[in-house]
Amino acid sequence: MTSETGFDVGKYDRFPTSEPRPEDELEQLEQAWCGPRTPGEWITATNNNIIGVYYVGAAMLFFVLAGVLALLMRTQLALPMTGFLAQETYNQIFTMHGTVMMFLFAVPAVEALGVLLLPQMLGARDLPFPRLGAYAFWAYLIGGLAFFCSLFFGLAPNGGWFMYPPLTGMTYSPGINADFWLLGIGFIEISAIAGAIEIIVGVLKTRAPGMTLDKLPVFAWAMLIFACMIIIAFPSIILATLLLELERALGWPFFDPLKGGDPMLWQHLFWFFGHPEVYIIFLPAAGAMATIIPAMSRTPLVGHAMVVMAMLATGFISFGVWAHHMFTTGMPQISINYFSAASMAVSLPAGVQVFAWIATIAAGRMRFTTPGLFAVGGLIIFVMGGLTGVMVAMVPFDWQAHDSYFIVAHLHYVLIGGMVFPMFAAIYYWLPMSSARPLSERWGKWIFWLMFVGHNVAFMPMHLTGLMGMPRRVYTYLPGRGWDLPNFISTIGAFMFGLAVLLWVIDMIRNFRPFGATVAGDIHGGPGLEWLPSGYYSVRSIPVVKSLYPLWEQKALAQDVVSGRYFLPGAAGGERQTLVTSPLNAEPQYVLRIPRPSAWHVFGAIFTAGFFLILTVQAYAAAVVSGVLAIYCIMRWCWFLDAPHQRKTTDIGAGVRMPNYVAGPSSHGWWAMMIVLIVGGMVGLLAGFSYIFLWSRRPDLWQAPPGLGSLLLQLGLLAGAGVCALAAPRVLRAARRWSASAATGLLVLAAIEAIAAMALDGRAWWMTGLRPDVSSQGASVYALLGWAGTFAAISGLMALYILLRRLFGHVTPERPSTVDLISLFLVFTAAQATGAVMLVRLFPGSGA
Amino acid sequence: MKRWLLLTGGLLIWAGHFLGVYLISSAADVWSTTGASGPRLLGAAFSFACLAAAMGVAAVVWRRTKTSVAEAEAWEGRVGLTGALVAAISIIWQAAPLAF
């Protein structure tokens, strides 16, 4: 195999080592990775074993809460014309049920599973940015709980989980209920993106040596695709919520047809996120299924390469089907036909996966213990949901079924079969990894059957009520339409499902014992690295992986790993360390020092959540204070990054030495920054799409841009910013006496140029008389420039940060990472601003 | 980067094809009509180009897979090849509305 990094893979043959390990090595490792000792340390903890359990627990809490809301709705609908819930309360409850299930349960739950499982599965000590992972968790928990509590004050959103304008505009939703959704969800999505960065870099850069792409566990493949999809899809909902909030708060008419806006823009932006969201939820669950089914069948996954291809294909095509939610909106017929064809084509990769699971079950000897039952039950339900999915992909049928209970039935079959059942299978399968006791097998079977039967009793009749014409989201209905009996049956099924969840909660209380000295371990005979004996430090030594199923095929692996006969068997210098490897061949590149817990990321999360929540209640001064405190905490957290190392290299075992510090494209920080920039670029791209879309709706309302003379000045400034930012890392690496000061100066100059360019361009538009609240052109021009300007403002903060680091002597040629990353950000800022400025000036180029 | 492109090239073309035909029809909706023959011909030409590109990726991957001895790269080749073939079929399928 061609080496990816120049590392001699022949060195793998030195492992497992045979010489005796130092006596105090394990003790030092345990000391370095010790768990929390005080109550405060349980909050500031960053270890994935702790944060992962918190994260899964919080996601399941939201699942239970949203489930209770579902039972309230089903009680209201059990009989016609009941008065159990008032109409407005019902509206808030169905909105919160959908929103909490989608945003606070489904995505965080699978992300949580990734945080908990991936390090062990990949043979890493922890994920590469543990504080970012902990920040994402606390931001999600605080924001999520505050969002949910809005229900108790009658302030919960009431416009449905996809919040279509004009219903959610100020005219029809004048209170702050919709603002809770817009700011709350926008913020929670930022937390999801932070988690996705952690997962992408973790999967690509912290795999055990030898774990090439063909040996990468299917679950890790699924998590990688899932996280990449978040990076592409979630910017769309961030932009959409931002635009609607701007319309509501400041009157910028993006969605108001009277001023050139168009509610269809919301639908495009929402569903460009919303449909991939379904696959974002499904793929990790499919990855779990493709892991659990082979383990329970005791045979390798049939068609492994095809399954990976199918997951990749699902990821790609999921971005080409968003408008199948909009078949009834009057789009051009040929566009509808394209989306219909693409929606049917999705069944191809989904079918590959389902047939691979069935073939694996057929090829092996399936054990129908609780995880096996949930896996097979999920498969059956998902296939049923998939079949109705093909039905609604056909446009004439969709016109009949749209917004009826048929759709409610379809989406619950897909989501419960494609995510909830696999999630329960995963909990039953992997819980012995984190708990001293497994869950009860006897209770598990009861829970499965209650849930399986309850699901079908609840949702099967909804196909009929839908076909009989019952629209979704109605809080009651008249008797005598044939809807009474199926609704009553649905309610019985919902309560059966609820009973199953209640029994599961009781069983968790009875048996779940995390954070103890021992764990139940590999009771299912699983083949992955996650079943190696482990502690807070994950694996005792990081193995060389030679198989997709290492524990089945590398017989002495567990013993050798526990004896410290592989990579990084100790904690050199008492540091927490993990091995960073190359993205394709997983060749060792350097040793990453994992930061120890501190409180700054927790405070950062509290103040970030505070900023968004206080903004919702329109206490602007307090929101600004909270925002400033959040920035301060995040800067303090970053201050300890890029710290000096006592040693330049570490012996990672068998005489192989690796550097402790790497900058540039090999470093994990570079990858994280690139992903952040992709997120920013996606928002910018979609803002550009919104601008062109709004122009195409009402070109007659558009006025001419400012003269081209000022454009040249702005472009010159932005080009200067880009050149200065590009030069800074090179100047620093020149390693002269003045290098650090010169590099700092160049970055500061670049930031000033970027800020000046954006301020001048904004002023030029203002001088033309265009105002953001007057027309869709004004709104979209200032939104686009505002987005680019926000990046320029962040560049200003970064300039301040690098200046402070220079003053404290932390900018040196030996540690160029900080300068590299700020330079990358500034180059991107200049490029994005250039694109934005040129788009609004040159397209359409003249007025009506 | 080259290995990533060969692994996902076919699927990227598939996604690009979808966005391309959608953009062509949307632009046609603004400047003329979606039923006009010009945009339809453009859509068909774009589809043929995408189909050719997907088949090209499949051919390159096929040739590399035959010569590659490393297990990991051969596996990547299999994934890339099936991806490119699935993409080719899907492009034909998604271009079908142009015929009606």
Q: A53: pLDDT confidence band, cut at 50, 70 and 90?
A: very high
Strand segments (E) across A88-165: none
A452 belongs to a structural domain: yes
Residue A723 has pLDDT above 90, yes or no: yes
Q: How far is B76 from chain A (nearest CA, A)?
A: 7
Radius of gyration in angstroms for the set of CA atoms belonging to chain B, rounded to a whole number: 16
- Residues in chain B with CB shorter than 8 Å from the CB of A338 are 18, 21-22, 25, 94, 97
Q: Distance (Å) from the C-alpha of residue B51 to the closest C-alpha of chain A?
A: 16
The pLDDT assigned to B30 comes to: 83
Nearest to A335 among B12, B22, B83 (CB): B22
Whether A657 is in a domain gets the answer no
**pLDDT of amino acid A848:** 60
Please indicate, yes or no, if residue A558 is contained in any of the structural domains.
no
- pLDDT tens, N- to C-terminus, chain B (100 residues): 888 999 999 999 999 999 999 999 888 888 877 678 888 899 999 999 999 999 999 999 999 888 867 888 899 999 999 999 999 999 999 998 887 7
* CA dist A69 → A90, A96, A288, B7 (Å): 9, 8, 28, 44
Alpha helices by DSSP H, B32-100: 37-67, 71-95
Whether residue A707 is contained in a domain is answered as: yes
Residues A17-45, mean pLDDT to the nearest whole number: 92
* Inter-chain touch B70–A2, beta carbons under 8 Å: yes
Show which of residues 204-233 on chain A sit within 8 Å of chain B, judged by CB atoms.
212-215
Residue of B nearest to A320 (CA): B18
8 Å CB contact of A305 and B79: yes
Q: Where do we find the tokens 């062990």?
A: A120
Q: Answer whether A330 touches B (CB < 8 Å).
A: no
Report how many helices (DSSP H) and strands (DSSP E) chain A contains, helices first. 27, 6
Whole-number Å distance between alpha carbons of A833 and A683: 13
Q: How confident is the model at residue A847 (pLDDT cuts 50, 70, 90)?
A: low
pLDDT in tens, A148-199: 999 999 999 999 999 999 999 999 999 999 999 998 888 888 889 999 999 9
Among A511, A541, A558, residue at a domain's last position: A511
DSSP 8-state assignment for residue A105: I
pLDDT at position B29, please? 84
Domain count, chain A: 2
CA dihedral (A606, A610, A611, A612) positive or negative? positive
Query: Is B85 an 8 Å CB contact of chain A?
Result: no
**Residue A607 carries which side chain, given as an amino acid letter?**
F
The closest CB to that of A338, out of B18, B78, B86, belongs to B18
Percent of chain A exceeding pLDDT 90 equals: 86
For chain B, say whether A596 makes contact (Cβ under 8 Å).
no
Domain boundary residue, one of A459, A485, A511: A511
Output the pLDDT for position A246. 96
Does this complex have an ipTM over 0.90?
Answer: yes
For A659, the enclosing helix (H) or strand (E) is strand A657-659
Query: What CATH number did the domain enclosing A805 receive?
Result: 1.20.120.80
Q: What is the mean pLDDT of residues A492-510?
A: 98
Establish if A65 belongs to a structural domain: yes
> Is residue A611 included in any domain, yes or no?
no
Q: Is B65 on the interface with A (CB under 8 A)?
A: no
B86: contact with A, CB 8 A cutoff: yes
Euclidean distance between CA atoms B44 and B21, whole angstroms: 9
Q: What is the mean pLDDT of chain A?
A: 94
pLDDT score of A31: 92
**pLDDT at residue A359, as a whole number:** 97
Assess whether pLDDT exceeds 90 at residue A845: no
Q: Which domain holds residue A391?
A: 48-511
Res. A267: pLDDT tops 80: yes
The residue in chain B having the minimum alpha-carbon distance to the alpha carbon of residue A214 is: B72
Distance from CA of A371 to the nearest CA of B (A): 29
Task: Name the residue among A306, A338, A339 with its Cβ closest to that of B82.
Answer: A306
Contact A689, A322 (CB under 8 A): no
Q: What is the pLDDT of residues A301-358, one digit of tens each?
A: 999 999 999 999 999 999 988 888 899 988 888 888 888 898 888 888 999 999 999 9
Question: What is the pLDDT, as a whole number, of residue A333?
Answer: 85
Q: Which residues of B touch A305 (CB under 8 A)?
A: 75, 78-79, 82
User: Positive or negative, the Cα torsion across A759, A764, A769, A771?
Assistant: negative
pLDDT digits (tens, 9 = 90+) for A799-820: 999 999 999 999 999 999 999 9
Does residue A741 belong to any structural domain of this protein?
yes
Predicted pLDDT of residue B70: 84
- Collect all residues with Cβ–Cβ distance below 8 Å to A187 and sequence separation of at least 6: A139, A143, A608, A609, A612
CATH code of the domain in which A457 resides: 1.20.210.10
Looking at residue A203, its pLDDT comes to 97
C-alpha span between A436 and A526 (Å, rounded): 17
**Is the model's pLDDT at A2 over the cut of 80?**
no
Q: CA of A195 to nearest chain B CA: how many angstroms apart?
A: 23
Query: Based on C-alpha coordinates, what's the Rg of chain A?
Result: 27
Please check whether residue B32 touches A, CB under 8 A.
no
The per-residue pLDDT for A1 is: 67
- What's the pTM? 0.95
Answer yes or no: is A630 within a domain. Answer: no
Question: Span A469-480, mean pLDDT?
Answer: 95
Domain boundary among A481, A511, A541: A511
B34·A334 Cβ contact <8 A: yes
For residue A204, is pLDDT > 90?
A: yes
Chain A neighbors of B18, CB-CB under 8 A: 317, 320, 338, 342
